[in-house]
Each structure stands twice: as C-alpha cells, then as structure tokens.
Structure 1
Amino acid sequence: MRIAVIIAASALLAACSTGGGGESTSTSQDRLSVPTSSAQPSSAKPTPTTTTPPVPTAAPPPGTPMSQVIRWVEAGTQADPAGFHTATRGGETTNLGDDVAFVTTAGKCATDKLVNGQLACLVKTDGLPTKPPDVEGEWIAGWVDFTGPTLEVGSLHGDPGRFTYGDGAKLPTGGSIAFGDYRCRADSTALVCVNYAHQSGMRVSQAGVEPLGCLKPTPPAVGIGRQFSCPT
C-alpha cells in the first residue's frame, strides 16, 4: 500500500512539472515577439542654409538695385562726422556748424543749412553738360546738386555759395560718412552718395555723374544742364 501511494505522488509531481514548463516557454516567446522600437524614419528635409554674398570691392554701377548700393556704401570704414564740420581756404579755417564739407578724388562736397542741409559737389569729370544757349550768367558745368528727389548737373552760379569757405577734410578711399538723410563713400575711382529718405543716389567717376535708385532723366529746368528726378 505504501508503494502505491509513493508511485501516485511521483506521477502527480511529474504532471505538474510538465504543465508549468509549457506555460513558461509560451510566455517567453510572446515577450521576444514584441518589437523593441516603434519609431519611424524621419521624412523631414534639412533646412537649406543661405549665405550673404560678399560686398563687391568696386563702386556699384548704374542699374544696381538700391539695396545693394546702400549695402556697399555702408560697408565703408565709418568716419566721424565731427571731423568734417570745418572748411579751410588760404590757411583760414571756418567752423561750418551743423554743415559738413569733405574732399574726395571725385571733387569736393558740402551741405548748406540754408537749403535744409542739401548736398552739393564741385566735380571735374567727363560728360559734363555745356551751357544752354538760352541762359546768361556764369556757367559751372561741374556743380552738382543732389537733393534726394532730384539730381542736377551743371547750373548758373554768380558766387561760390557754400564753397566760399574752402575745402573740408579729406574723406579717405574706402571711407564712409553719414549726415542728415545722406551717406557717402569714397572709392579710388568714384564717389557714391545715397539719400535714405528717397532711396536715391548718385555716382561720380571719370565717366561722369550718374543717377542711382529712383532717379530718372527729366526735362531740365531753366538754367540747369541735366536733371534727374524720382517719380512722384
């Protein structure tokens, strides 16, 4: 009787051991079948990088977009306007107050507070207009008035006006000076000035006086050799 009980108990233990092992194997296989990651490959494209082109070394020619002209002028070495408030003639120096005067290879320039600080230059270059046949008086072909909305080349003047006091300080090649609505930069071959308020400009070189920005040729007023104006 004791032997039969032992045999029955052994059989029961063997059955339990077999059932437990099968369940454990199934659970292990289920765990191995679970993916380790659900991340998907990204389809986003990398953001392209843009670089600003370098500023040209030469003065911008006529037809250059005004934004590029201004960028070129602003890239010059900035001069302190405080050094350009005097003019000298025959060894005598005159304080110009708020006006500025400077000299470049293209000529000499000065502002005049009596006409809202507008810029004028006396230049010697090619292509200057001759005296109109229907006017009388002293003709100065190289007198350039750049008001912003207009650019006038050649006009009548009975006296030197704002240039009475002589020449201002030299604006060195590569130098840039800002005053009022204007900024000018001197180049080895040209002078370029811009007027921010009207998005206009002028380029003075051996080739002549050329308009920039919105300035377009218009019929000149009486006593003016050549005139350019911005559309109104």
Structure 2
Amino acid sequence: MSPDYRRQDELSTQDTDVFPAYSDDHEPFRSRQQPARKRQWVGRYALTGLAALVVGSVIVVGGLAAGGYFTKSADEGKSALTTTAKPPTTTSAKAAPLSPPAAGAPLSTVMAWVRAGAPADMAKFHTATAKSGTVSDLGSAVAFVSPSEKIRCMTSASAKGGQGLTCMAELDSPPPRPAKAKQGNWAGGWIEFPGPTLGIGSVRGDPGQFTLGDGATLPYGSRLTFDDYDCRMDETGLFCINNTAGSAIQLSSAGAVPFGCLGKVEPKDNGLAFSCNTFDATATSTPSSTSTADHAAVGSSCDSADAGSFGTAKNGKELLCSEGSDRRGYRWTDPGPLASGTNEDGEVCDRDGEKYGKSADGSAVICRQTGSSTWRWQSTS
C-alpha cells in the first residue's frame, strides 16, 4: 500500500489537511452571519421595488391625470361649442307684427300684417267649381274659400256681378233682419265689402255669383293681391284691406271686425252697416266734410279734378283723392305708407313693399302688376 494511504479505521490517526479554498468558501461564510446579509439584500430589493412601484404609480396616476385632463379639456371644448353655437336664423326683408291685429288696431298695423303673408299663386284663383264639378272661368275675377270652408269669397267681375268683394260666412250669431229691410230671403252671413262701406246680412233671392261654385282653398298664412284688395287667410279669420278706401275687415265665425275709416251707421237693407262717409279714423278732431286738400278727411268727398293728388288731414296724415271701387264718386283715402323718393310711371316697383308713391310732380302712382310677374308704377289719375 502507498505510504499515504490509510484504511478507514485509521482515519482518526490521520493528519487532516485544511484546504484554503474550502476554508474561505464555506466555513468562514457561515461565521459571517449570512442570514443578516441576506436580509440586507432583501431590504434593498424591497426598497428598490417599492421605489419602482411608487415611480410607476406616479407615472400611472400622472398618465391617468393627464388623460383625464385632456379628456376634460375636450369635453369642455365640446361643451363650449355647444353652449356658444347659435341656432340658424332666418331673415325677413320687412318687420311685421307676429300676431293678427286685434280690434281697434291702426290700419297701418293691419296692412303690415296682411302684406307679411306668403304670396299665393293668383293663377289658381280665377276659376269657380260647382258641386256638379263644372268649372267656370272667372276671367279677371277672384274666388277663394277658407280651409274650414266657413268663408267663401268672390269679386264682382264674375258673370253674376256684385259690388267689390262679396263673401258668405257661417256666423255664430248672424244679425237679424232689420225692420226696414225689403221682403225676401234673409241671408245673415252675406257680407258685401266694396271698400268705403261694409254690409253684413242682406236680403237675397239667390246666391248671386256663388251659383258658379267656389274658388280654390286659400291656405292659412297665404295672401292674395287683386284689384284694390290685399287679403290674408289666418286661423283667426280672413283679413282683407281695400287700399283705395283705406278700410279693412276681419271675417270669422264670430262676425266682422272693421278697421280704418269704417264706422258704424244706421243700416237700411243690411243687418249691420259700416261706412267711411261718417267716420275718420286718422283725424284727431271732428271729421271735416270739406274737400279741400289741406283739410282732407278719410271718407269725405273730393273733386274729380283732384283725382290722383294728395291732401293732408288735420293730424298731418297724407291722404289720396281717388275713385272708390263702388264708382260712386271720389273720396279721400288713406294710401298707407308711401314709397320713398320719387317713383315715375313705368319704373319697376316691389308690390310686397309700399303700394303708392309720388312722382316728381307730386301726383300719385300705384304699383300694379303689368305682366305675369312684373310690377310697375302707374299713374292713378
């Protein structure tokens, strides 16, 4: 056996060599309290992890905050746009009352409201249709009915004649027959409105021009312009102006309301009667019967030589001397607002604006339709 070899039972007597590598790497490691060192490293790792967690939290929270900030800003921007945005607006060329004029309103107010209606196609209102279906051409006459069919109107140029605008209305309380009325069939809803006068209720042996039937329906909010009249249909009734006479009426199932120069008079053949001859809606004092231009009064007579000229009422209102639609003489009438500047014969005019104007020599001109759609100033004399 090798001198360096010993049996196992002799190990206790053998010399033991201590190898430095073993001593340095193992036994001394235990003697340096490795667990404490481990805790130090773990603590460091824990602190590092906590710091990373805090930093991450800050980043996350910051990110969320930033996200919330920008989201809020975007929402606020949307809100600002929503609250500051203005709804679409419509423009109107001329201001007019929004509501129908009440009883006692000035004629100028009635005129402004009526003329603010939407113009209807006149070509649809020159025929009348009977119950049998027969259609009659009325020529230049005009016929129309209300959407409720409680008001039917027709002008006098129809085959059966008449005076100015005639209407038949279903009245809740038609006027009774007057004691002096002639014998015959009493029609309490018969209305005659030539302009200077208004008659409600009449003795009628037949339906006059209405034997031809009825005209087309005039929709609510629509306006017709014909002869000396402007008429607008409304849910509160029919409003019609006679521009030459300076008068107007409202027709509804409740009855007739007069405007302008119309004043109540003693009826003869009508249940109720109104006239411009005895009432001046524009004068500030007692109406004058004089026909001189400097003391004109609405409804008072004027000389034929003054036809087409202007006069002045006592309150300073300019009036026009013209022949009434009843062709019974010349009277001072309220022409309404006059067009500005001078307006000569033949010049194009705007019928939706002022109807009357003055030429360079001071005479009156009227805006009339001369073609299918062209309006021009024409002399009234």
Which residue is equivalent to 1:143? Answer: 190
2:100 matched to 1:59?
yes
Amino acid of the structure 2 residue aligned with 1:112: S
Whole-angstrom CA distance in 2 between matches of 1:97 and 1:218: 34
Closer, same or farther in 2 for the Cα pair 1:54/1:206, shift >3 Å? farther
SS across alignment from 2:165: strand
2:133 matched to 1:86?
no
SS across alignment from 1:164: helix
Say which of 232, 257, 264 aligns to 1:185. 232
What is the RMSD of the two structures over their aligned residues, measured on CA atoms? Answer: 1.9
Say which of 109, 122, 125 aligns to 1:68. 109
Whole-angstrom CA distance in 1 between matches of 2:163 and 2:226: 9
2:248 matched to 1:201?
yes
Closer, same or farther in 2 for the Cα pair 1:146/1:87, shift >3 Å? same
Whole-angstrom CA distance in 2 between matches of 1:67 and 1:182: 14
Whole-angstrom CA distance in 1 between matches of 2:102 and 2:108: 13
Preserved contact between residue 199 and residue 272 of structure 2 (Cα < 8 Å): yes
2:171 matched to 1:125?
yes
Say which of 97, 103, 108 aligns to 2:145. 103
Q: Which moved more, 1:126-135 or 1:96-105?
A: 126-135
Whole-angstrom CA distance in 2 between matches of 1:198 and 1:132: 26
Structure number with the bigger relative contact order (C-alpha 8 A, sep ≥ 6) is 1
Give the superposition deviation at 1:75: 0.4
Amino acid of the structure 1 residue aligned with 2:166: A
Amino acid of the structure 2 residue aligned with 1:202: I
SS across alignment from 2:239: strand
Preserved contact between residue 189 and residue 206 of structure 1 (Cα < 8 Å): no
Question: Which consecutive residues of structure 1, in runs of 5 or more, have no partner in the other structure?
Answer: 1-51
Whole-angstrom CA distance in 2 between matches of 1:130 and 1:64: 27
Amino acid of the structure 2 residue aligned with 1:100: V
SS across alignment from 1:72: helix
Whole-angstrom CA distance in 2 between matches of 1:199 and 1:148: 8
TM-score by length of 2: 0.45
1:91-127 alpha-carbon deviations (Å, 9 max, x no partner): 1111011111000145000001275861000001233
Closer, same or farther in 2 for the Cα pair 1:117/1:156, shift >3 Å? closer
Q: What's the % identity of the aligned pairs?
A: 44
Preserved contact between residue 163 and residue 192 of structure 2 (Cα < 8 Å): no
Preserved contact between residue 58 and residue 187 of structure 1 (Cα < 8 Å): no
Q: Which moved more, 1:123-132 or 1:212-221?
A: 123-132
Preserved contact between residue 169 and residue 252 of structure 2 (Cα < 8 Å): no
2:208 matched to 1:161?
yes
Give the superposition deviation at 1:68: 0.9
Whole-angstrom CA distance in 2 between matches of 1:59 and 1:68: 9
TM-score by length of 1: 0.73
Preserved contact between residue 176 and residue 184 of structure 1 (Cα < 8 Å): yes
Which residue is equivalent to 1:224? Answer: 270
SS across alignment from 2:271: strand
1:19-77 alpha-carbon deviations (Å, 9 max, x no partner): xxxxxxxxxxxxxxxxxxxxxxxxxxxxxxxxx99423332122111111011000000
Q: Which moved more, 1:72-81 or 1:104-113?
A: 104-113
Which residue is equivalent to 2:156? Answer: 112
Whole-angstrom CA distance in 2 between matches of 1:63 and 1:171: 25
Whole-angstrom CA distance in 1 between matches of 2:125 and 2:99: 25
Amino acid of the structure 2 residue aligned with 1:132: P
How many residues get paired?
180
SS across alignment from 1:148: coil
- Structure with greater Cα Rg: 2
